[in-house]
Amino acid sequence: MNDGKGKVSRFAVSVACAGLLAATLTGCGGGQQPPPNDPSDPPLDSGGGEATPASSAKVREGMDAIEAQDFATAKAALMEAQAADPGDPQATYYLGVAHEGLGELDEAQAQYEKALELDPNLIEAAINLSGMLIDKDEGEAAVKVVEAALPKAPDDKNLLMNHALALELAGDTDGAVAAYAKVVEKSPDDVQLRLAYVQVLAAAGKADAAKAQIAKLGEISDPKLARALAQVELKLEMLDECVALLDGVIAKQATPDLHLSRATCRLAKKDTKGAESDYRASTKLDPNFAPGYFYLGLLLKQAGKKQDAKKAFEKVVEVAGAGSRPAEEAKKQLEQL
């Protein structure tokens, strides 16, 4: 979603799930989600920090309406502006913003493409267009858009971020690693951004580099970021660090998902008692938390405690509801018992 300022950045730390059924049971996972945009970003930044004046009164009207999140009014004004001057890149670009604000994504994409045809130096259009392509999983197309714009604005953070995301989506691991490094260099204090870099390094098998970046993260208190980092530390076999990280966050803000993540780290350390404790704690925090019961059932089943395991799986069926995938998976376990 556009904030009306002409800058759209799509970025999220991917939170990998704790185990076999977590994606279905908890709905956790990544997905490109736009963070709040910087309200200081001026529309159509000229590069010197000042906004480019509106090209016409109707464009100004459309820009003001976008600022007010009144995208329908903006669309009407900007269509008039575009009809009056089809060669005006501002009218075309902001019409794209209005379309995107209304959820008319195909129309928005067409306007961004046209705006870049009219003015290849319109960086905001490249940012928004590449972001839309990333959202559509069209990584290679997004790479082309970004790389055409980067020579004109090599230090634009949003453009650099979209470059990293597009390269990652296109499967260019080495390119994505290099692109993330550039973004982190521009924003060294952005914890979420550095964590995304850590994830990419770990996925690329660059364990030492990932560990070096983890050391620069400092204290993580946000539960979502803590779970994401814990998943990376698990992959890198930093098991003590994984447990210690989650110990600290749980002490301040316990959630069922955090207990589920710590249980995974504890299991990797072969601490089955600790894992069982976490599973039980997750269901105590939320008596309807199906993943806690399911993984508790698996652990008890493995330990030969069939009756206790049966109770746990029956609880999954009860809280998840008949016909749901978690309930069906729990029924399979019950049949095996």
pLDDT at 53 exceeding the cut of 90: no
Type of residue numbered 110: A
Mean per-residue pLDDT for 48-56?
A: 67
Q: Please tell me the predicted confidence (pLDDT) of residue 47.
A: 39
Assess whether the region 1-35+137-218 and the region 42-119 belong to the same CATH fold: yes
Q: What are the tokens at 50?
A: 């000042």
More confident residue, 4 or 300: 300
Q: pLDDT digits over 249-274, tens only?
A: 999 999 999 999 999 999 999 999 99
More confident residue, 6 or 230: 230
Q: Please tell me the predicted confidence (pLDDT) of residue 9.
A: 38
Separation CA 179–CA 168 (nearest Å): 9
What ranges do the domains of the chain cover?
1-35+137-218, 42-119
The pLDDT-based confidence of 321 (bands split at 50, 70, 90) is confident
Q: Please tell me the predicted confidence (pLDDT) of residue 51.
A: 56
Q: pLDDT digits over 123-138, tens only?
A: 999 999 999 999 999 9
Mean per-residue pLDDT for 47-59?
A: 71
Q: What are the tokens at 158?
A: 């949003």
pLDDT at 17 exceeding the cut of 90: no
Type of residue numbered 107: E
Q: Please tell me the predicted confidence (pLDDT) of residue 293.
A: 96
Mean per-residue pLDDT for 238-248?
A: 97
Q: Judge contact between 87 and 56, C-beta under 8 A.
A: no
Q: pLDDT digits over 145-202, tens only?
A: 999 999 999 999 999 999 999 999 999 999 999 999 999 999 999 999 999 999 999 9
Q: Say what the pTM is.
A: 0.74
pLDDT at 22 exceeding the cut of 70: no
pLDDT at 35 exceeding the cut of 90: no
CA dist 148 → 127, 141, 159, 228, 254 (Å): 11, 11, 11, 32, 46
Separation CA 34–CA 137 (nearest Å): 15
The pLDDT-based confidence of 337 (bands split at 50, 70, 90) is confident
Separation CA 138–CA 116 (nearest Å): 18
Could you give the angle at the alpha carbon of 237 between the alpha carbons of 232 and 243, nearest 5°? 75
The CATH architecture that domain 42-119 belongs to is Alpha Horseshoe (1.25)
The CATH architecture that domain 1-35+137-218 belongs to is Alpha Horseshoe (1.25)
Q: Judge contact between 9 and 162, C-beta under 8 A.
A: yes
Mean per-residue pLDDT for 15-44?
A: 34
Mean per-residue pLDDT for 77-100?
A: 96
Q: Please tell me the predicted confidence (pLDDT) of residue 27.
A: 35
Burial zone of 222 (CB within 10 Å; 0-12 exposed, 13-18 middle, 19+ buried)? middle
The pLDDT-based confidence of 29 (bands split at 50, 70, 90) is very low
The pLDDT-based confidence of 282 (bands split at 50, 70, 90) is very high
Q: Please tell me the predicted confidence (pLDDT) of residue 26.
A: 36
pLDDT at 34 exceeding the cut of 70: no
| DSSP assignment letter at 19 | S
